[in-house]
Amino acid sequence: MTIAIFLGSLLAAMALGVPIAFALLLCGAALMWQMNMFDAQILAQNVIEGANSFPLLAVPFFMLAGEIMNAGGLSRRIVNFAMALVGHIKGGLGYVTIVAAVIMASLSGSAVADAAALTALLLPMMVAAGHDRARSAGLIASAGIIAPIIPPSIGFVIFGVAANVSISKLFMAGIFPGVWLALSLVVTWWWLVRKEMVVPPPRKSAAEVLEAMRLATWALVLPFIIVFGLKFGVFTPTEAAVVAAVYSLFVSTVIYRELNFSKLVPLFIAAAKTSAVVMFLVAAAMVSAWMITVANLPGQVVELLQPLLDSPRLLMLAIMILTIVVGTALDMTPTILLLTPVLMPVVKAAGIDPVYFGVMFIINNAIGLITPPVGTVLNAVAGVGKVGMDEVTKGVLPFMFAQFAIMFLMVAFPQLVMVPARWFY
């Protein structure tokens, strides 16, 4: 009955068009009412406590870093470097997109920001070169969702707080899975464009490649600062977010000199607005998370999944399928906040490594950003690139299926995630 009340109130609110944050509040209130313990003061306290978390300070700083990176010239120089490196290969602009997406993912952690920047910079070039518009938009969208997987990742921060799992370990464990996803895009793009007659630009000389790398050096250094700083305990993930924001600000204003005070104000406002949306979602979800615990929903779910607890891989497969279904209707942040308190007790009961589960869960949620009909990244690419949503959806399908295939391969072989992760630990 409790599960029915929880799901029924949440789905009913969403069906009525209630914003997801308020739907989560209503869901928590419905559970309190059903348990005869409704108290507005408890609601308010949980909302306040939901946002009162030091690790969550990483969210606004990573958002700000992404805004500065895109407006301050870092993104453009990364794309130019990738163009000089692999642009001459057949289908080279697609490989440029993937390489640039991986590098940018290690700077911002925001899929929407990266996808929007790549769309603005590369989609017109790909269409002008003769590549199919829908396919190009689909590649950019699927490359953009690597951002929540390769550190620094806003998704890992939110999951780490919700699940009480080491964010530093999640960051380190996300590096190789992000690379696997990128390689799946490389193979898929190669297969799709092998018969295209698009003539790639001429190969850049060694001097031109070195010059492009020199111009992008300041942007390329940041990922190494963050990874080595986390690995050797120089700073925490929250402090890493501050380092990323301050470093991007310094490079954009002092080194590249593409930003001044008048341009910074809109960037700070945009980052604040986006952060406010995410933080209110987190705060509202705390009410539902608290009620989920009080109502012992995780215990009921453990009982339902009892037959699968002896087979961790089968359990992970079931959880991944559930997350895919939820991800078609919900954005990444609410999915994390909604499912994490329910699934973590099940995962622990089955003896699954919480870090491994966190990486797989975030990968699934990241791919959910390009699954129709709600895919946030699909909407961003369609809006920035002025491409029809149906075209982007059609173009993204082969890349999405390739990424799902890699995800299920990592479910079957957890070593693909955990062995490289332990190197970085």
Ramachandran sector of residue 70 (left: φ over 0; alpha: ψ -120 to 50; beta: rest): alpha
> Given pLDDT bands bounded at 50, 70 and 90, which one contains residue 117?
confident
As a whole number of angstroms, the distance between CA 373 and CA 304 comes to 29
pLDDT digits (tens, 9 = 90+) for 346-372: 898 889 999 999 999 999 999 999 987
54-77: average pLDDT: 84
Residue 222 has pLDDT above 90, yes or no: no
Give burial (CB, 10 Å; 0-12/13-18/19+) of 265: exposed
| Mean pLDDT over the full length of the chain | 85
Residue 178 has pLDDT above 90, yes or no: yes
Residue whose C-alpha is closest to residue 410's, from 323, 336, 313, 296: 313
* Percentage, residues of the chain above pLDDT 70: 95
145-168: average pLDDT: 90
Among positive and negative, which fits the CA dihedral 249, 254, 256, 260? Answer: positive
pLDDT digits (tens, 9 = 90+) for 261-301: 888 899 899 888 888 888 888 888 777 777 766 766 666 67
CB atoms within 10 A of CB 127: 16
As a whole number of angstroms, the distance between CA 81 and CA 76 comes to 9
SS3 106: coil
Residue 260 has pLDDT above 70, yes or no: yes
Secondary structure (DSSP) of 25-51: HHHHHHHHHHTT---HHHHHHHHHHHH
* Percentage, residues of the chain above pLDDT 90: 29
194-213: average pLDDT: 85
What confidence score (pLDDT) does residue 183 get?
Answer: 96
Residues whose CB is less than 8 angstroms from the CB of residue 25 and which lie 6 or more positions away in sequence, other chains included: 43, 47, 284, 287, 288
Q: Report residue 363 CA to chain centroid gap.
A: 8
More confident of the two residues 51 and 274: 274
> How many residues does the structure list for the chain?
425
Q: Are 97 and 143 in contact (CB under 8 A)?
A: yes
Residue 149 has pLDDT above 70, yes or no: yes
Q: Which two tokens stand for residue 290?
A: 């608290």
338-343: average pLDDT: 85
What confidence score (pLDDT) does residue 362 get?
Answer: 95
Identify the residue whose tokens are 């009961």. Answer: 349
What confidence score (pLDDT) does residue 398 get?
Answer: 95
319-324: average pLDDT: 90
Q: What angle do CA 88, 89, 92 make, to 5 degrees?
A: 85
86-93: average pLDDT: 86
Residue 425 has pLDDT above 70, yes or no: no
Query: Alpha helix (H) ranges present in 174-260?
Result: 175-193, 206-231, 237-250
As a whole number of angstroms, the distance between CA 139 and CA 158 comes to 26
As a whole number of angstroms, the distance between CA 407 and CA 405 comes to 5
What confidence score (pLDDT) does residue 299 get?
Answer: 67
Q: Are 370 and 141 in contact (CB under 8 A)?
A: yes
Q: Which two tokens stand for residue 378?
A: 């699909």
What confidence score (pLDDT) does residue 298 get?
Answer: 64
Domain ranges, ordered by start, for the chain: 39-424
CB atoms within 10 A of CB 184: 21
As a whole number of angstroms, the distance between CA 387 and CA 393 comes to 10
Q: Report residue 242 CA to chain centroid gap.
A: 19
146-166: average pLDDT: 90
Among positive and negative, which fits the CA dihedral 245, 250, 253, 257? Answer: negative
For 313-382, the three-class secondary structure string (H helix, E strand, C coil) is HHHHHHHHHHHHHHHCCCCHHHHHHHHHHHHHHHHHHCCCCHHHHHHHHHHHHHHHHHCCCCCHHHHHHH
Q: What angle do CA 217, 218, 222 make, to 5 degrees?
A: 105
Residue 405 has pLDDT above 90, yes or no: yes
Residue 101 has pLDDT above 70, yes or no: yes
> Given pLDDT bands bounded at 50, 70 and 90, which one contains residue 98?
very high
What confidence score (pLDDT) does residue 1 get?
Answer: 62
Query: Alpha helix (H) ranges present in 72-152?
Result: 74-86, 92-105, 111-129, 133-144
